[in-house]
């Protein structure tokens, strides 16, 4: 677990990449494995590679509702010269008929039904007279036409899913198709979320002067769930060192602790006061905007802990940049970053030189290309909590850029 040297305040000491590297070095995959049925697998992380158990498709079958024929019988068929065949079988999907197709014969066949021995092409019903005793075929199929071959998607034993992937709907469905009923998944990390601030009131509670509704614990709880973790405890604590110490002493076991607020240089920034020198917790100013003041380390006993700056946009950005990657690492994900996509800037903005900016942006489209504009009229200011509602993600402006102009391309981490 790394220890930080606290940096003098007001000095950007640590790059985003260096801070992220410390975070990832301070968090290890939980390593616990559970087996779940496919209905419960969505959103979980696959713990080990999985191979297909069956060929996919597992037998040659029809891609069309129509007639299974011998291609050689109907090579001369045309609209003005139909070829008439005897219909010797009727094959719905799921049929296990022992029918064989000989010269001059056809089987009526539905999509997904096994191709009967002897047949080597399917003619769609639209290209026939749809007969049930005898059928007039009005087209000459290519050999193998409209036949879906055994194993053309995957063979039994082929790799299907790699360890560390998130099991989304498409992957769970692929596992079902490939013969699996359950999957090995990693344990869900339990995360304690603590919003600090004497000014905080519960959402919906009447506000006295100077008090605000706590949005950070709701934000963090939802972000933890979106990342694949579970909130083990969520609470608000006042700016009182005894309250923070008391919680640290009686806390329930969990895999990660996230504080929000109280990490800056104010006289009442108690998370900073209590956590400084506690376990291996260190404070840094990270060269980013917003989200500069950051705390990270391990509590005595080894549980990793974050202290995030309390402004709501700073919490959202800090979570995206550092906490989400940490949760994905606890989960054993192969990828802890998020893909970014280029988008064209619609309305420009300024970015502080020497800092990586995370601008909450709304996505749009212009001339068929994706565009972005700041989600809040006030731009990147870190108190604009309501502006987050309009944000589809964050435009990530590199450290060496101080002005983003209309028409520029920016990389966007899309978060919804
Ligand atoms: N003299 C300096 N002052 C500040 C600096 C600095 O470098 N020197 N940095 C500023 C920056 S940047 C940030 S970010 C904040 C970080 O401050 P804290 O982490 O100590 O956060 P608080 O002071 O507790 O709160 C900041 C702000 O956010 C509101 N807040 C806090 N918790 C919640 C919550 N749960 N829900 C909604 N809003 C919350 C709080 O009321 C404050 O307005 O420090 C700057 N100051
Ligand atoms: O670093 Mo603060 O998070 O910009 O608002």
The pLDDT tens digits of the residues spanning 381-413 come to: 888 888 899 999 999 999 999 999 999 999 999
CATH 3.40.50.1820 correct for 61-148:
no
Domain with CATH 3.90.105.10 in the chain: 34-55+158-186
Sequence-distant (≥ 6) Cβ neighbours of residue 77 within 8 angstroms: 83, 137, 138, 139, 140
Tell me, what's the pLDDT at 11? 47
Domain with CATH 2.170.190.11 in the chain: 61-148
pLDDT band at 1 (very low <50, low <70, confident <90, very high): very low
Tell me, what's the pLDDT at 97? 86
Distances (CA, A) of 194 to 52, 162, 210, 232, 290: 44, 35, 20, 11, 20
For ligand 2, say whether the CB of 382 is within 6 Å of any of its atoms: yes
Q: How many residues in total does the chain contain?
A: 416
For ligand 1, say whether the CB of 221 is within 6 Å of any of its atoms: no
Residue 378 Cα to ligand 2 middle (Å): 14
Q: How far apart are CA 223 and CA 214, in angstroms?
A: 15
Distances (CA, A) of 10 to 183, 212, 292: 49, 27, 9
Pocket test for ligand 1, best of 13, 261, 319 (most atoms within 8 A of CB): 261
Buried b or exposed e, range 16-38, using 16+ CB within 10 angstroms: beebbebbeebbebbeeeeeeeb
Domain with CATH 2.40.340.10 in the chain: 340-414
In the block, which residue shows the tokens 């519960």? Answer: 202
For ligand 2, say whether the CB of 318 is within 6 Å of any of its atoms: no
Residue 23 Cα to ligand 1 middle (Å): 22
For ligand 1, say whether the CB of 33 is within 6 Å of any of its atoms: no
Residue 271 Cα to ligand 1 middle (Å): 12
Which CATH code for domain 340-414? 2.40.340.10
341 has which bridge partners?
A: 412
For ligand 2, say whether the CB of 311 is within 6 Å of any of its atoms: yes
Which ligand lies nearest to the CA atom of residue 8 in the structure? 1
Distances (CA, A) of 52 to 139, 173, 177, 183, 290: 37, 12, 9, 12, 46
Tell me, what's the pLDDT at 135? 98
Tell me, what's the pLDDT at 379? 75
Residue 195 Cα to ligand 1 middle (Å): 12
Which CATH code for domain 16-32+188-330? 3.40.980.10
ipTM: 0.96
Tell me, what's the pLDDT at 289? 95
Q: Are 296 and 26 in contact (CB under 8 A)?
A: yes
CA of 292, closest atom in ligand 1: 12
Residue 315 Cα to ligand 2 middle (Å): 9
Q: Judging by beta carbons within 10 Å of its beta carbon (0-12, 13-18, 19+), is residue 7 exposed, middle or buried?
A: middle
pLDDT digits (tens, 9 = 90+) for 50-79: 999 999 999 999 999 999 999 999 999 999
Structure tokens given for 410:
């920016």
CATH topology of domain 34-55+158-186: Molybdopterin biosynthesis moea protein, domain 2 (3.90.105)
Residue 218 Cα to ligand 1 middle (Å): 17
Q: Take atom 4 of ligand 2 and give the residue whose Cα is closest.
A: 290
CA of 383, closest atom in ligand 2: 5
Residue 201 Cα to ligand 1 middle (Å): 16
- pLDDT of residue 2 exceeding 90, the answer is no
Query: Mean pLDDT of all residues in the chain?
Result: 94
284-304 average pLDDT score:
95
Domain with CATH 3.40.980.10 in the chain: 16-32+188-330
For ligand 2, say whether the CB of 314 is within 6 Å of any of its atoms: yes
Q: How far apart are CA 312 and CA 305, in angstroms?
A: 19
- pLDDT of residue 230 exceeding 60, the answer is yes
Q: Take atom 32 of ligand 1 and give the residue whose Cα is closest.
A: 310
Q: Take atom 3 of ligand 2 and give the residue whose Cα is closest.
A: 291
Tell me, what's the pLDDT at 245? 95
Distances (CA, A) of 342 to 239, 277, 321, 337, 368: 41, 41, 18, 16, 13
Residue 288 Cα to ligand 2 middle (Å): 8
Sequence-distant (≥ 6) Cβ neighbours of residue 32 within 8 angstroms: 186, 187
């Amino acid at each position: 677990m790394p220890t930080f040297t606290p940096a003098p305040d007001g000095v950007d000491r640590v790059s985003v990449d260096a801070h992220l590297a410390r975070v990832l070095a301070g968090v290890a995959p939980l390593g616990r494995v559970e087996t779940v049925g496919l209905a419960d697998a969505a959103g979980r992380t696959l713990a080990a590679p999985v191979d297909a158990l069956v060929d996919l498709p597992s037998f040659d079958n029809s891609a069309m509702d129509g007639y299974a024929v011998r291609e050689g019988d109907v090579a001369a068929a045309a609209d003005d010269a139909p070829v008439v065949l005897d219909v010797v079988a009727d094959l719905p999907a799921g049929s296990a008929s022992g029918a064989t197709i000989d010269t001059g014969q056809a089987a009526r066949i539905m999509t997904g039904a096994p191709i009967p021995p002897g047949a080597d092409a399917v003619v769609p019903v639209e290209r026939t007279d749809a007969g049930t005793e005898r059928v007039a075929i009005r087209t000459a199929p290519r050999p193998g036409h409209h036949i879906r071959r055994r194993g053309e998607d995957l063979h039994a034993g082929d790799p299907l899913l790699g360890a560390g992937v998130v099991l989304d709907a498409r992957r769970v469905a692929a596992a079902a198709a490939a013969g699996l009923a359950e999957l090995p998944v990693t344990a869900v990390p339990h995360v304690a979320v603590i919003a600090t601030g004497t000014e905080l009131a519960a959402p919906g509670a009447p506000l006295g002067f100077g008090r605000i509704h706590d949005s950070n614990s709701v934000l963090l709880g939802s972000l933890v769930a979106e990342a694949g973790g579970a909130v083990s405890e969520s609470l608000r604590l006042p700016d009182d060192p005894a309250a923070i110490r008391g919680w640290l002493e009686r806390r329930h076991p969990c895999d990660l602790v996230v504080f929000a607020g109280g990490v800056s240089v104010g006289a009442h920034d108690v998370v900073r006061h209590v956590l400084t020198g506690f376990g291996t917790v260190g404070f840094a100013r990270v060269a980013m905007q917003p989200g500069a003041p950051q705390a990270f380390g391990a509590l005595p006993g080894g549980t990793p802990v974050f202290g995030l700056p309390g402004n709501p946009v700073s919490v959202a950005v800090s979570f995206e940049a550092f906490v989400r990657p940490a949760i994905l690492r606890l989960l054993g994900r192969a990828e802890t970053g998020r893909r970014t996509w280029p988008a064209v800037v619609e309305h420009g903005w300024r970015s502080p030189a020497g800092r990586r900016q995370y601008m909450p942006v709304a996505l749009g489209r212009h001339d068929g290309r994706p565009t972005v504009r700041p989600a809040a009229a006030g731009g990147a200011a870190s108190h604009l909590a309501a502006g987050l509602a309009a944000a589809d993600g964050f435009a990530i402006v590199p450290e060496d850029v101080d002005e983003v102009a209309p028409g520029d391309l920016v990389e966007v981490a899309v978060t919804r």
